[in-house]
Amino acid sequence: MRSIDNIASLWYFIPEFVLTGVLVSLFLLDLPKRWSQNRRLVPIAAALGLVAYIGFTVYSWSFPKAAAFHGMIVVDPFTNFFRVFGALTGLVTIYFSFKAKELAAAGAEYYAILLGVVIGMPVLAASNNLLMIYLAMELVSILSYIMVGYLPGSRRSAEAALKYVLYGATASGIMIYGLSLIFGVTGTLDALQIRIFLEQNPAERLTLFVGLLMAFAGFGYKISAVPFHMWAPDVYEGAPTPVTAFLSVGPKAAGFGILLRFISSALTVPSDGEFIALKFLDISNLLSVFAVATMVLGNLVAIQQKNIKRFLAYSSIAHAGYMLMGATALSVEALRGVLFYLISYFIMNLGAFGVAIVVQNDLGTEELDGYKGLAKRGGRATLLAIGMAAFMFSLTGLPPTIGFVGKFYLFTAVINAKLYALAVIGVLNSVVSLYYYARVVKVMFFDDPADDRQLAADSRGMTRLLTTLAVATVALGLFWKSLAYVAASSANLLV
């Protein structure tokens, strides 16, 4: 492993320094009264900061892999993937926030907090030290709590934030106790050194297993895996819809990033494209239990939901189960599959939440009944209904959408790992999901609308963006090789 000192490490974090500078500048832009009255100025500056962040990340992609700050953080293509992924999620969220009526009064502090979470996500995915994992997790979580409760005077938003804080604090406490047990067994905080110790020394299996189980409480909370999912439905429903869209994609992806890195660095031995579990620690069986429970609960409970945000919350839980299924395979092929699935999930899930924002803005409802006859309203409403149908079919995993390709990669990795029972359960869950995703399509196209209202003229920009995402959902399902290359080149960890 190439470990570099603190001074040399600073060069690897130029993108984060740039984005931090933009974050501070947002408050300065908001100080002059004539500037603060311009609603466009701060979000445009935040968006330009994220574009610059992506540019510097692409520039640093050619840097050699290294363990920066004396091994605390690993900078490699895997880290750079989550930098770009987080920035793109932030860009879409900024646009959603600017267009959402419920965030019409959002000031510089809102966009600064959003950029703070974007900075924290790749740091979490890059953490190679138990203490750094905890600190990065808290950075992402605490700022997320504030975003959820951002709506002033909204009891629902405040309640969601309180529940998020309580669940988060509990999961955080359990996780740090588990990490302390792992440190007590191995005598080191460094993930790579933990693996070396466990390879060379007999460990107290029960203590180590309990420590890992408690550590996974923190990871599971971040990705909303069962049984650490209980915060998701209430928080998703109560938070501002753009924030819900952001949480469902960005921090969830960062949670999978640190989960995959920790497994590959500390708990398995890389060998010829596979990650071999340590002899006395069958991590694959543990992950399989979480994956099955998450898929089954997410899909079955989603059937009963009538609120679109709760519906998408349980859908998000189910998709966490699919990605956990990929993590269970313990191979580079599975790692590529999870990264590809994250890309597809970014497109189809943000698209679905975008439609929810427009409907909430113009029709004033979050209930599925409010989507009745959306396709029959004509004009932009018909385009939105067609786009929503594309997102629903993609979330199901039907061809020729990108969701189908993502699931194909995941299931192929699971089958090649000879986890046949897990693959069958995954397929059956996908069949179940078709019922509730198709129900949304049925409501939009076959039911009659309750009134003859049309979408407002200011929804044109959102309609264009969502149409683009819908086209991408189908086009990238037919021409996916470029995304497969990105996923393959990013599945390159310093282990």
Q: What is the pLDDT of residues 428-483, one digit of tens each?
A: 999 999 999 999 999 998 888 877 777 765 667 888 899 999 999 999 999 999 99
Least confident of 99-113, 134-148, 276-290, 460-474: 276-290
Residue 36, pLDDT > 60, answer no
Residue 318, pLDDT > 90, answer yes
According to the model, what pLDDT value does residue 458 have?
Answer: 63
Mean pLDDT on 267-272: 77
Mean pLDDT on 166-193: 90
Least confident of 143-152, 157-166, 392-401, 443-452: 443-452
Measured over the CA atoms of residue 242, residue 245, residue 247 and residue 250, the dihedral's sign is negative
Residue 280, pLDDT > 70, answer no
Mean pLDDT on 199-217: 82
| HEC readout, 188-229 | CCEHHHHHHHHHHCCCCHHHHHHHHHHHHHHHHHHHCCCCCC
CA dist 9 and 288 (Å) reads 37
DSSP, collapsed to helix, strand or coil, labels residue 372 as coil
According to the model, what pLDDT value does residue 38 have?
Answer: 64
CA dist 197 and 344 (Å) reads 37
Confidence of residue 37 (pLDDT cuts 50, 70, 90): low
Q: Running DSSP on this structure, what letter comes out for residue 375? A: G
